[in-house]
Homo-oligomer: A and B are copies of this chain.
Amino acid sequence: MLYELTLPQFSKTLKNLLNLLDKGVKHAEAKKFEFDVLLQARLAPDQFNLIRQIQIACDTAKLCGARLANKEAPTHPDTEKTYSEIKSRIESVIQYLNSFTSQDFNGAEDRHISQPRWEGKYLTGKEFVIHHAVPNFYFHVTTAYSILRHNGVDIGKKDYLGELPYKK
């Protein structure tokens, strides 16, 4: 269950984020400005800009998988400056997320999860997902969305949620 809750849904949401950015690119073309300018935009002067929001969303998803499956995550040096670079980053993380299976999460619920800034403290895998990874991931994707929306890109919540697996 922890697997279903996280990686496939994070992967889907990062694909939705690619669509949001693509709409931003089309908006920039129509308005005749460089989309990469928007990658520097932020909602407050002391807040991270759009490119950093995307990097953190990517890292949150990637590290959630790696930590719960007790694997080493691939590194990304946070040097992206352009749309094509950040697009590649997202695509590489989607590919990484899709490389996991639910079996990789065996024992994940009770695994002790920590990170350097927690100074030796830990959360169980389940707590980590519920209290940290999931709210953190959506926080950064939604903030990226809000930066685009605030700058006039024609996007709506449906683009953020993506397709729902409706049944009849």
Contact = CB atoms under 8 A, between A and B. Distances in A.
A39 to B, nearest CB: 17
Contacts of A9: 130-131, 135
A71 interface: no
A160 B139 contact: yes
B164 A132 contact: yes
Contacts of A127: 164-165
22 contacts: A4-B130, A9-B135, A13-B135, A43-B150, A44-B149, A44-B150, A44-B152, A120-B168, A121-B166, A122-B167, A123-B166, A124-B167, A127-B164, A127-B165, A131-B162, A131-B165, A132-B161, A134-B138, A135-B160, A136-B161, A139-B145, A150-B150
Interface of A: 1, 4-5, 9, 12-13, 43-44, 47, 112, 118, 120-124, 126-127, 129-132, 134-136, 138-139, 142-143, 145-146, 149-150, 152, 157, 160-162, 164-168
